[in-house]
Structure 1
């Protein structure tokens, strides 16, 4: 009797399920701008694309690339430079003129004339000075390797905020990390089983001096560099100045990126920046054109304090995939970075 009731209930429930065809939202492509001028020597890249769907594995769709745009940057001294489109990567336009170098205290404006004649301009962006990085150092932290989490070096910096209120910072860090494949180097003579692979920080590590004006910024974490194998790590930290509007943009960007995706979160929205149509300022592009001073420092982490056999035994070679380094890590190089 119970089985007949259960079968009848399941048939009833199945009969009540109707397929619903949801309309696919068609969004008109929008201009996407991603670029930065700094007080370091050129070149400076500006990336221009159209918004749309693409996958990292299939390459960038040709229909989203903007070919033939006229792109210029003007400083507040009314000097203008025209950017050159990259032949091999046509979504990038470059400032290559060595005499056009960003200067602290100057303001810079980007102008983009699309092939159809539509003109976009950015807000005038101040290139503010930035305090120098005083020290870069690392602290070793043990991870849960059995759960797919490697050990790591927490990369930290010290600097001092100037006494003037209204300074904003962003940090960008990358490291070259040793990786092994197939077997570890002490038990193999394989020439392509050991390499160095780059890892990059998020772009949204930002700070306002509203609460720390004129004080030291100490022990500021800017990156977690993973430890997948034993060997030297090569780290570079860049400290950028930001305008107030750029700080607000990157803060908003991080808020979107870090949402948990629960039912109570607001729906994600496209993040508009400081570039708009010249004829209609209500039509905004996505992305941001920025201007920053840069302070950079490098660090070599010896890695010689990690006990080799204990490291391998604890992780059970969890981070040593089969195959070669080039096959597993496309951005890797077989030797450590030079001139470090």
Structure 2
């Protein structure tokens, strides 16, 4: 048999084998797992003073139109109990924000060393409660510093920003768990509104910027040691102007720290085959009649201390800023195009 004819036969056999395999492919329909909606609790109480809030929703598909409103639980009875004194605080629904409940009694102030829990009476007559937890002592923030930096590589980030760092002193002889949050009020520029003379007004406004990162820390290997240069937050720079920065340092219970650690682990997955299988992040709230039925989310009991910082922001090159940040100038009245836009800067902002 000639080599040419041999190759023709081999090609024909390969074609027939491929066609056979293709004909054996059968469509497999994988069943979609459906889970009953679960109670989601987002609550917090601290020594920082009222009002105290608890948000109630049900888990589900949050990508559908109107899902945020339909998932809100609006007809519950919500209480915060100071279990060590048997005091009860009734939280009332906030009409403008479905699912949010807020305290109205300004005389009820949470105290360090007292024990607290939440009680939620749902419309379907289920009662959920949290494990009573004692409020830890708040650890003071020593100081805040700001460091001007360039772009971080995030495509949604501004070309410039101030990185905010914290210094504090860990309390010796006890286990301490920390969580930090930060926000700032910054100046931004819009195109504004033109009057009959052709002059633009309502161009510059102050607007708050919040950070959604969860930053936690445990002193397991550094008991009693100072915490230095702890990175907290990047306050974006759009134009020359002051930055009014506020930081909250929460002293957590061990259970709350473990919840936030699990929460962070879920958020930081990169989507590879080596990631652990996602699982619900349950907190400290459960069905009183059936403790095996747990709610998502957390009712956090924490001692909190705050610190403020005013960054002058007047040493920047205005010409360079205008070139780099021109794309962030938004058409319209700055009071409406920016979140909570105000032409008046924060008043009496004491560091």
Q: Same fold (TM over 0.5)?
A: yes
Match of 1:252 in 2: 262
Match of 1:192 in 2: 202
Structure 1 window deviating more from structure 2 (262-271 vs 104-113): it is 262-271
Aligned residues: 327
Q: 2:328 aligns to what SS in structure 1?
A: coil
Q: 1:23 aligns to what SS in structure 2?
A: coil
Q: Distance in 2 between matches of 1:286 and 1:126?
A: 21
- Per-residue CA deviations over 1:173-215 (Å, capped at 9, x if unaligned) read 11112222349xxxx9532332222221235211111122112
Match of 1:212 in 2: 222
Q: 1:177 aligns to what SS in structure 2?
A: strand
Match of 2:51 in 1: 43
Which is greater in Rg? 2
**Which residue of 71, 79, 85 corresponds with 2:78?**
71
**Which residue of 113, 118, 121 corresponds with 2:121?**
113
Question: Does 1:131 find its partner at 2:159?
Answer: no
Structure 1 window deviating more from structure 2 (17-26 vs 217-226): it is 17-26
Shift of 1:21: 4.8
Shift of 1:316: 6.2
Shift of 1:14: 9.4
Question: Does 1:269 find its partner at 2:279?
Answer: yes
**Which residue of 60, 75, 84 corresponds with 2:92?**
84
Q: Counterparts in 2 of 1:134-153, with a 5 A limit?
A: 134-143=142-151, 148-150=156-158, 151-153=160-162
Q: Counterparts in 2 of 1:1-340, with a 5 A limit?
A: 21-55=29-63, 58=66, 60-62=68-70, 64-75=71-82, 76-143=84-151, 148-150=156-158, 151-182=160-191, 190-313=200-323, 315=324, 317-326=326-335, 328-340=337-349
Q: Distance in 2 between matches of 1:288 and 1:71?
A: 14
Q: Distance in 2 between matches of 1:100 and 1:327?
A: 36
Shift of 1:145: 8.1
Q: 1:61 aligns to what SS in structure 2?
A: helix
RMSD of aligned residue pairs (Cα, Å):
2.8
Q: 1:287 aligns to what SS in structure 2?
A: strand
TM-score by length of 2: 0.84
Shift of 1:222: 1.1
